[in-house]
Amino acid sequence: MPAESLDVRAVFDRALELAKPERKAYLDRVRGAAPETHEKVEALLSAHEQAGSFMEGVALGSRVFVDDAIVEAAGMQIGPYKLLEQIGEGGFGVVFLAEQARPVRRRVALKVIKPGMDTREVIGRFEAERQALALMDHPNIAKVFDAGTTDSGRPYFVMELVQGVTITEYCDQCSLTARERLELLITVCRAVQHAHQKGVIHRDLKPTNVLVAMQDGRPAPIVIDFGVAKAINQRLTEHSLTAGFAQLIGTPLYMSPEQAELSPLGADTRSDIYSLGVMMYELLTGSTPFDKERLHAASYDELRRIIREEDPPLPSTRLRTVAASLATTVAASRRTDVRRLLQVIRGELDWIVMKCLEKDRNRRYESASGLAADMQRFLNDEPVQACPPSAVYRLRKLAQRNKGVLLAGVVVATALVLGTAASSWQAYRATRAERQAQVNLAKARQVVNEYFVRVSESSLLEDPTFEPLRKELLHAALGYYQDFVKQNADDSGLRAELAAAYFRVSYIHFVLGSEEDLLTPYEHGLALLEDLVRTNSNAADLWIPHTGRFRVAPAQFHVQRPAEALGTFKRARSLLEEMARQRPDSLALRADVALCYMAIGTLQGDLNHWSEAAEAKKAACEHWNQLALLDPEKRHYQAALVTQSMDLSQYLERLWQMPEAEEAARQSHDLAEQLVQQQPTPNHRALLGWSWLHQAGRLERAGELEAAEDAYRRASTAYEQLARDYPKVPRYRTQSFSAQCSLGCLFWESGRHAKAATTFREALATAEHLHEDDAEAQIALARFFASCPDPQFRDARKAAAAAQKAVARNPHESEAWYALGLAQCRLGDWHLAIDALQKSDELSPVPDGWSCFTRSIAHAQLGDADQARRWYDAALDCTDEQDAADAELRRLCAEAAALLDLNDVAERDRE
């Protein structure tokens, strides 16, 4: 600790942060290195003890009156409260552990203003804290019990005693994983959102103001110290809260740029979002965005400049660039290693954090609940709303800070984004500075790659208005990759990127519903990977950064070429198994293998190849089970095991392997319940609801009606609760409606018609909240109105209207066209019904009994007995014993048989 390096301000600030025992040891070291600095710091600390912190408390220029009043201490009495010990100290208040004697006996935290800090501004701010806390009514915000003044006239208030440690200490002491830390922070965000809704912002959110206490055996973060809170839309006190000139409110490490700027617009709720982002950064990486020592050593103006102007590194970048020993320690405290921690943080968590830390508050999350929702999406393995800033935005920011210096880089990146990437390649070929050209080319590829991700994963995919433009942009960007590959064919890494790009294009077609265009780009990507594996011994290492790209829904491939799609996925499986053998330590590659088995099983099932489907699903279950054992923190492995076990159960039931089917269903259901107990995320809760539905259908087919009834109710309740919690997710309400309809049908088929009618009415009440633009919801509604077993609820016009909405929303969905054909049949529009049913059959890999019987009915009504009989016989051919147990299918069969005067035949077939 050389003397010349000791800045009085830095040493003083550091000493203030330390508890008294650590402070003494620190100052002893300072005395040995720089006696004069030590003397000055001791004097400052003495003054601070008497007058409080000049940074956090009084506005510069305000008058401070140091009176001779008695200073509160342990053993003193304030009203009904006996002070036991001092437990905290802020800029203008001292906090004591106190015991309340009346009207109830309990221990509380009592905060009283410091002597000499009773300026008008400080008292106003203190009263604002009291009023702000009084507005709060949230389990994760410290409660206010009482308020008053001491005998010397200084205000005090009494609040809930939070017996806990700071959130960072708790997470490190318990070695919480990154996922578990995010779950705690989500709770903090919800508490902050409550405060914001009450019209109060905190303005000093930091780990020491978020304590974690144990409640009912579970950690509960409690937000404390609204000492610098500011009213947003209301006046909290009669005293003015206007900040004095050059006054900083908050803690610099966690302070938003607008707070450091002393903006006339002041802080708002998005200032708290910034502070939450800093806390998230620290919880993930173990350090704050700006170096603590650097900020402590900075002058007042330099500190403000850093906060306002400098962009901190990405969390993953910070973790990569710290000392290896420190990174290892950070990872170990999160129960993982550095490589895996980087994999967790890199990408979406980087994006979420940096969205919080935007200098421009308009680019941050609009609310704490928005931030919490995006973190929950990450935990649920759903796409997050945060994304990397656009290339144009980043370049503009760079240009503002480094005018002229980055001109070449700006030209390259802009050229790529605007469609002139070829010129950058020519510059690469022509330049003599080859190393710099290679750097520029790498940057250009990065821009295109990020652009690909933004386009392929954007929420704009849901808007069909953008379909033509999106396709054009994607194919243009794909062309850039192809040009790079042609010019540099030996670059294996580039070919791996190109393969990933093809898979992205395939995924785009899937999301846009362009099933006929899915397979071609997918096969191009697969061919590139096959060549990569054949020619490179390190192909697995080159592909690992792109794992997870085999995510196109395989069921969509069957639209035109089901057999070819099946062959494609078998090739992909062989390829990935080879790469997994090269890198057996890569769980991501093994997950890709599992995804391929899932796809193969789904396709075989869609083609009614039950035995092959069951074998593929068994293999998928084995892979997911192994992955879940190797990395239990990744709950999506266990979630995948739930879905695949359910599929396996259905296929085994088709094969009449009932004990095995029941065991697979039981294991799936037990695991779904376990997931919800461990982590009740929306996805896990929905999985459990789906498992209850699966159980209900299996039990109903087995004749266990009472158990089936209970399962249907549990499924409906689970989905209804999800619908209330997440009203913007349409499928939850749809699945609740479907469960109620199935329960009503169970009652009807068992002769309990009054109970069935009551249940159908409940289902229709749920249907009032179905989303009109959701195809699945409209299909369910159309099927209900067209084929409800209770005639009083049938309405062909409503069925047709719902089916037309479904077709308009998703014209490539076979089920939508079938619902329309059935509805038209009920309306008596036989020709239109046949046209719709034909379209449904074209979009289905194999015929099914429902469509064939309905076509038979339509032809019979038109007087075409031959065609009607042909479709009737086709329906019998494609109906197996499990399908024959379906009540709706039996009714269609009976209706067609009656029209053809084949009741005896139909009866014999049903037997």
The partner residues of 148 in beta bridges, in order of sequence, read 156
CA dist list (Å): 172 to 178, 287, 671: 11, 12, 29
Identify residue 347 by its one-letter amino acid code: G
Residue 218 DSSP SS3: strand
The continuous run of DSSP H or E covering 353 comes out as helix 348-356
Catalytic positions are 204
Q: How far is the C-alpha of 343 from the C-alpha of 350, rounded, in Å?
A: 11
C-alpha distance across the termini of the chain, in Å = 93
Q: Determine the Cα–Cα distance for residues 894 and 910; give it in Å rounded to an integer.
A: 10
**Structure-token match 């997870």, residue found:** 548
**How far, in Å, CA of 142 to CA of 122, rounded?**
21
Closest C-alpha to 77, from 105, 108, 104, 98? 98
243: tokens are: 């900040």
Contact 257, 290 (CB under 8 A): no
Residue 475: how many other CB atoms lie within 10 Å: 12
Residues 845, 558: contact at Cβ < 8 Å?
Answer: yes
Question: 853: which 2 tokens?
Answer: 């019987």
SS3 542: helix
Strand-pairing partners, residue 86, are 96
C-alpha dihedral sign at 202, 204, 205, 209: negative
> Which is it for strands 210-215 and 230-231: parallel, antiparallel or unpaired?
unpaired
- Residue 78 and residue 113: Cα distance in Å, rounded? 13
φ, ψ of residue 264 in degrees (nearest 5): -65, -20
Q: Which residues are 138's β-sheet partners?
A: none
CB contact at 8 A, 844 and 877: no
d(CA 177, CA 334): 4
Which residues are within 8 A (CB) of 46 and not within 5 positions of it... i.e. 6 or more apart?
none
User: Closest by alpha carbon to 295, among 255, 352, 340, 353?
Assistant: 255
Angstrom distance (rounded) from CA 388 to CA 450: 8
- What's the CA gap between 630 and 626, in Å, rounded? 6
Give the Cα separation of 855 and 895 in Å (integer): 12
Place of tokens 């109105």: 785
Cα–Cα distances (Å) from 429 to 415, 434, 488, 605, 761, in that order, read 16, 8, 11, 52, 73
In this structure, what token pair is assigned to residue 130?
């009291």
Retrieve residue 2's tokens. 């050389």
Close Cβ partners of 816 (under 8 Å, ≥ 6 residues apart): 775, 778, 779, 803, 806, 807, 809, 810
The burial of 258, by beta-carbon neighbours within 10 Å (0-12 exposed, 13-18 middle, 19 or more buried), is given as buried
Q: Is the peptide bond before 103 cis (omega within 30 degrees of 0)?
A: yes
For residues 19 and 88, give the distance between their C-alpha atoms in angstroms, rounded to a whole number.
10
- Write out the two tokens for 271: 């200032």
